Amino acid sequence: MEVQQRTLQKEVGLTLATSLVIGTVIGSGIFMKPGKVIEYAGDSTLALWAWIVGGLITLASGLTIAEVGTQIPKTGGLYVYLEEVYGKVWGFLAGWVQSVIYGPAVIGALGLYFGSLLVHLFGWDGAWKLPIAVGTVLLLTVVNSLGTRYGGFVQTAATFGKLVPIALIAVFGMWKGNGQIWGADSGVAAEISFGAAVLATLWAYDGWMLVGFMAGEMKNPAKVLPRAIIGGLLVVTLAYLSVNAALLHLMPASEIVRLGENAAGAAASHLFGEWGGRLISVGILVSIFGCLNGKILAFPRVPFAMAERGQLPGSRWLSRIHTAYGTPVAAIFSQALIAVIMMVVSNPDHLSELAIFSVYLFYILAFVALFILRRRQGGQTRAYSVPLYPIVPLFAIAGSLYILASTLLTNPVNTLAAIAITLLGLPFFWRGQRKMKSADASR
């Protein structure tokens, strides 16, 4: 991937930066995950604490990565950060995981959540869930292959749709409900794991990594960036807590677990009647559709960048750009193909957990990189410094390690599969390195 110095206009102020934080984080998780969090936590009190802890881990992570991003002023994100600090192999593995696990798993989970909610909304047979999910992913894959202008239009149209259902359910749920918010049992005789509950919330908070990439476009990153991250994530955390409290106020915790991804739609019908509930459900669908479109638009850029450097199998094909539309069409369709396979063999909850576990393996390395960079650079002046250093990055590391360890114990199959697929990337890296050495020797 060609690494270039930032030459972007510094036009992003606090208001825009904060709204971007909120917009990139809020997606499907708040509507799809409340039941799963309660199930894992065992009762509503621990479930609400899981949402709080997830928000704190996300906040600490975002603040830490923001400094890493300002100290490595190059485009490319996690892929470039790890390569710069740890060497080529770690940068490659980060890109490999984003290309073959994280990106496709996120796309697959969102597609399945969309299909499930659409089937529930219209009362169709459950057998239609997978075909609708696959069809939606393929439709948006084609749309984004036709140019970023079309994908960007879909993304803009979906932005406000995600906020309306959250506000209506939170406000009217707390107003009209009279159920037990604290101490309500999940009603499920399942293995309780607070770590798994927090991992489920991190799906809803995912997207924060994009926030640190905006530092080069901010008028005063030292002031704007931490304020935007803190303000934006506090708003998101408050919104998530409000929706969960409203759901618990409207229906028993055991009912939320039973309804699963359809709990928010059922709550909307309870509050606003059948047609009002349908309208809110449409808003939720718009939110998920827009989130899915954004992922399909952005994720293929990682395998495309790696293919340009000849690092992936089939790099010559993956690096192709459509002659008419100027899009990395092969990389876009490769992500969709892997996502469809995952959708056929798995379910959205497993895919979302697989995605978060796999990427947090590398987030931790990025958090540790902050200490390495500070030691390398000594007392140099920084455009932005993480507040409460070293407490904040240490909390991000400790929280992430706790989540990974808990997930490894409670869901060893998924986690070991993620680790195995990660390690499968090493032969491709070594093969690429040998090719480069042979090419250099023949010159």
pLDDT tens, residue by residue, 376-396: 887 677 777 888 889 999 999
CA dihedral sign, ordered 302, 306, 307, 313: negative
Instruction: Look up the CATH number of the domain holding residue 171.
Output: 1.20.1740.10
The verdict on residue 213 lying in a domain is yes
Distance of CA 131 to the CA centre of its chain: 24
174 compared with 38, residue with greater pLDDT: 38
The verdict on residue 367 lying in a domain is yes
Cβ atoms of 266 and 53 closer than 8 Å:
no
Q: What is the mean pLDDT of residues 60-88?
A: 83
Q: What is the mean pLDDT of residues 431-437?
A: 74
Q: What six digits make up the tokens of 188?
A: 């499920």
Residues above pLDDT 90, as percent of the chain: 23
Q: What is the 3-state secondary structure (H, E, C) of the chain?
A: CCCCECCCCCCECHHHHHHHHHHHHCCCHHHHCHHHHHHHHCEHHHHHHHHHHHHHHHHHHHHHHHHHHHHCCECCCHHHHHHHHHCHHHHHHHHHHHHHHHHHHHHHHHHHHHHHHHHHHHCCCHHHHHHHHHHHHHHHHHHHHCCHHHHHHHHHHHCHHHHHHHHHHHHHHHHHCCCCCCCCECCCCCCCCHHHHHHHHHHHHCCHHHHHHHHHHECCHHHHHHHHHHHHHHHHHHHHHHHHHHHHHHCCHHHHHHHHHHHHHHHHHHHHHHHHHHHHHHHHHHHHHHHHHHHHHHCCHHHHHHHHCCCCCCHHHHCCCCCCCCCCHHHHHHHHHHHHHHHHHCCHHHHHHHHHHHHHHHHHHHHHHHHHHHHHHCCCCCCCCCCCCCHHHHHHHHHHHHHHHHHHHHCHHHHHHHHHHHHHHHHHHHHHHHHHHHHHHCC
Q: What is the mean pLDDT of residues 16-40?
A: 82
pLDDT, position 149: 55
Integer Cα distance of 24 and 37 in angstroms = 21
User: Is the model's pLDDT at 75 over the cut of 80?
Assistant: no
Q: What is the mean pLDDT of the chain?
A: 82
The verdict on residue 6 lying in a domain is no
pLDDT, position 7: 43
At residue 218, φ and ψ (nearest 5 deg) are -95, 145
Among 248, 230, 131, residue whose Cα is nearest residue 179:
248
26 compared with 61, residue with greater pLDDT: 61
Total number of domains constituting the chain = 1
Ranges 18-27, 57-66, 133-142, 247-256: which has the least confidence: 18-27
The verdict on residue 3 lying in a domain is no
User: Is the model's pLDDT at 150 over the cut of 60?
Assistant: no
| Sequence-ordered list of residues with C-beta below 8 angstroms from that of 235, at least 6 positions apart, any chain | 18, 22
pLDDT, position 3: 35
User: Is the model's pLDDT at 370 over the cut of 90?
Assistant: yes
* Euclidean distance between the first and the last CA atom of the chain, given in angstroms as a whole number: 22
Distance of CA 76 to the CA centre of its chain: 17
101 compared with 153, residue with greater pLDDT: 101
pLDDT, position 48: 93
| Identity of the highest mean pLDDT range in 9-13, 37-41, 291-295 | 37-41
Integer Cα distance of 288 and 142 in angstroms = 18
Q: What is the mean pLDDT of residues 165-185?
A: 75
Question: What would the pLDDT profile of 112-124 be if each residue is shown by its tens digit?
Answer: 999 998 998 888 8
pLDDT, position 51: 94
Cβ atoms of 55 and 240 closer than 8 Å:
yes
At residue 76, φ and ψ (nearest 5 deg) are 130, -15
Integer Cα distance of 34 and 263 in angstroms = 8
Q: What is the mean pLDDT of residues 34-54?
A: 91
pLDDT, position 189: 56
The verdict on residue 443 lying in a domain is no
Question: What would the pLDDT profile of 223-250 be if each residue is shown by its tens digit?
Answer: 777 778 888 888 888 889 988 988 988 8
Burial class (CB in 10 A: 0-12, 13-18, 19+), 285: buried
pLDDT, position 186: 63
The verdict on residue 424 lying in a domain is yes
Q: What is the mean pLDDT of residues 54-58?
A: 92
Question: What would the pLDDT profile of 266-281 be if each residue is shown by its tens digit?
Answer: 888 888 888 878 888 8
* Domain span holding position 230: 14-436
The verdict on residue 9 lying in a domain is no
Q: What is the mean pLDDT of residues 168-189?
A: 72
Rounded CA Rg of the chain: 21
The verdict on residue 5 lying in a domain is no
